[in-house]
Every structure is written in C-alpha cells, then in structure tokens.
Structure 1
Amino acid sequence: MLRFWPVAAGIAFGAFVAYDLAAGADLAPVLTASGLVYLGAAALQRPRAAWPVFWLSFVVIGAAGFTPWEDAATWVLLGIAAAFALYGLVRGAVRPAEVLPLQSLAMVLFGGAAVAVMVIGGDTAAYLVAAGLLGHAAWDAWHHRTGRVVVRSMAEFCLFLDVIAAAAMIAVTVNG
C-alpha cells in the first residue's frame, strides 16, 4: 500500500486544486509550477530536488493569494525558473540534452502558455490551461517511464494532479 502514496497524494492535491477552481482560483500558476519543478531538478542535477522545488512553488502560489496582484504567483514562478535555468547553465548542466536544455524548452512552453492565459482570459484561457496540464501529464508519463530528471514519485504524483486539475478546469468551464 505504501508504494502508491504518490498516486494518493496526487489525487488529494488534484481534489484540492479542483475545489479551489470551483471557488474561482486561477490555474495559470499551477501550469507554470508544473514546468518549474522539472526545470529545477534538471538545473540542480538532482532528481530528488523535484520535491523541494514543488513545495517552493506551493508556498509561492499560496503566499501570492495574500498579495493585491492577481498574477503575482505566475510571475514569481517564472522568475524562479529563469534563475534555475541560469544556475544550471553556469553549472554546465547542458549535457545530456534531455535534461536542462529540454526542460528549459518545456518551461518556455508551459510558462508561455501561462502568460497567454493571463492575457487571453475567459473560456479560451481555461481550455488552454486544461490542454497544458494534459500535455504536462504526458510529460509526467514519459519521465516516469524513463526515470530521468525527476524521481518517479514526483512524476506519478504530478500525473494524477495534472489530469484531475485539467478535468476540473474543463468541467467548471463547461458548466460555468
């Protein structure tokens, strides 16, 4: 039973995100954080670093709720991602190519989608977040299968979190 803790935690966090979403929360920061976790682990060259980076993003998203700026979490997470990318580059973490270079490209895509969501707004933005999260779920599955960049527990956890958050986003938007 202990073997399935990442799945149970992913489902629990997914339910938490779905609940927040029903209350009107924005998922652009979650989309940004999904790329940040992998980029952080790649830049630090430590798969286990994915968990502390996840908790860092969780704290940033939570703390941003206490600021008057609507998109503060997304911008702070993007700044942290840039710092991680620079740190990894300075450390020489550019080999192998599927580590820092590929994770940086993914961060650009997920972060770019989050910025587009902030600009677009409305139902189109909601569907873009859902598509981004489902794309990240596929990313999680690939990383889980290959065992690269992040520990498998993070990939499992994130897979379930992403799918549940995407389904909730679609459900809230369709029924909204």
Structure 2
Amino acid sequence: MSDVTAMSDHPADTSTPQGRGLKHALIRRWPTLLAILVSIPGFTDEPTRGLVDSFAVAMLLLPLWYVVIGATGRRNLTWWVLGGAIALFVGLRFQDAVDPSVVLLSISLAAVVWGTIRGRLVEPAFLLQIAGLAVFAALSATALNAADFDTALYAVAAGWFAHGIWDIAHHRANAGVARTGAEWCAVVDVLIAVQLVLMSLLL
C-alpha cells in the first residue's frame, strides 16, 4: 500500500525527452525570448526622423550600462542598473528642461570618474568600456547632428548592430554585464538595427 501511495503522490514524468529538452532550452534562453517579445512592436513603426533621433539617444544607454557595471565591479546589479537606466530614459522623454543625451553622458562620465577613483583605470576591461563609451557616443552624435535622414538612420542602425556584436563578445567571454543581460541586449540591439533598415526600405 505504501508503494501505491508513493506512486500516486509522485506521478511519473510522461513527457518525452524531446519535450523536456525543448522546455529546458526555452527556460535557459529566457533573455532571448524576452528580447524578441519587447522588440516585435517596433517592426510596425515607420522610421521617422523623430524615431531615429530617439534611438540615437537611447543608444547612449548601452555603454552607460556597461560602464556603470564596470565601475562598480558588481555584475549582480546588471538588471537593476538596466531597469533604472530605462526608467530614467523614459522619464527624460517627458520633459524639455534638459537634453536627455546630456544627462546620460553625464552619468556615464561620472561612472568613469568613480571607477577611476576606485582604481579601475588600471584594468583593461574597464578601459575597454571607456573606449566603447567613446565610440557609441560618437555614433549617437553623428546621427543626431546629421543633416540628412539616411545618414542619421544608418549611423543609428550601425551603432545598435555594432553593440549587438559587443554584447555577443562579452557574453562569450563572460565579461562585462551578467551573461543574461548580454544575451538580452544582443538580441534587442540586432533586432532594432534590422527593423530600422528593413522598415525604411519597405515603408
């Protein structure tokens, strides 16, 4: 009787190995699934100059995220910093008193100073993040100051795609932000770049 009770309390797993494998794969790849979910609506938007400029400013969030994590040395803060940065960006878009790009760059530079004070400047990984900040800030500025729409669009698309490669490299090296964050960001970055170029050609 005890054997019967035990069997009824713990029913056998009737799922197939393939089903269990798919389930585990989906659970393991949750950052990718989340990235796809949040990116899908963008494929219905026509890339106007206003939208392109918004993505140019948003691009500054990417190096900011990496620099802050590099300055603190605490990868466990990856998602908290990302959430705070996104919330700040959204809030900045609802005001006209200060340029959002100035705020984001100021925070990034403050993180660089903080990291320097903490002795991070001797670490190649932190120097790499500073270089990344310079490159992506330059691409953002190029887009925002471009006289024609195509230059702005392709500068922004190139920046987001390049940061997707940046994320993949950091994910493979298990460096920078947490690997889940790098995976999520890589997918979002590449999809944004693709949607900007694709929608400009189709719409």
Length-normalised TM-score, structure 1: 0.89
* Range 107-116 or range 10-19, more displaced: 10-19
Give the drift of 1:68.
2.8
Counterpart in the other structure of 2:171:
144
Counterpart in the other structure of 2:31:
6
- Cα deviations across residues 34-69 of structure 1 (Å, max 9, x unaligned)? 111111110111122222221122112211221136
Higher normalized contact order (CA 8 Å, seq sep 6+, divided by chain length): 1
Residue 112 of structure 2 aligns with an amino acid whose one-letter code is A
User: Per the alignment, do residues 130 and 152 of structure 1 end up closer, same or farther by CA in structure 2, a change over 3 Å counting?
Assistant: same
Query: What is the aligned residue count?
Result: 174
Length-normalised TM-score, structure 2: 0.78
Q: Secondary structure at the match of 1:94?
A: helix
Structure 2 segments unaligned to the other structure (5+ residues):
1-25
Counterpart in the other structure of 1:108:
134
In 1: Cα distance, 2:59 partner to 2:200 partner: 17
In 2: Cα distance, 1:33 partner to 1:163 partner: 15
User: Per the alignment, do residues 164 and 117 of structure 1 end up closer, same or farther by CA in structure 2, a change over 3 Å counting?
Assistant: same
**RMSD between aligned alpha carbons?**
2.0
Runs of 4+ aligned structure 1 residues displaced above 4 Å come to 16-24
In 2: Cα distance, 1:21 partner to 1:83 partner: 35
Structure 1 segments unaligned to the other structure (5+ residues):
none
* Range 155-164 or range 45-54, more displaced: 45-54
**Which structure would you say has the larger Rg?**
2
Matched, 1:124 2:178: no
* Range 57-66 or range 130-139, more displaced: 57-66
Counterpart in the other structure of 2:16:
none
User: Per the alignment, do residues 94 and 15 of structure 1 end up closer, same or farther by CA in structure 2, a change over 3 Å counting?
Assistant: same
User: Per the alignment, do residues 86 and 170 of structure 1 end up closer, same or farther by CA in structure 2, a change over 3 Å counting?
Assistant: same
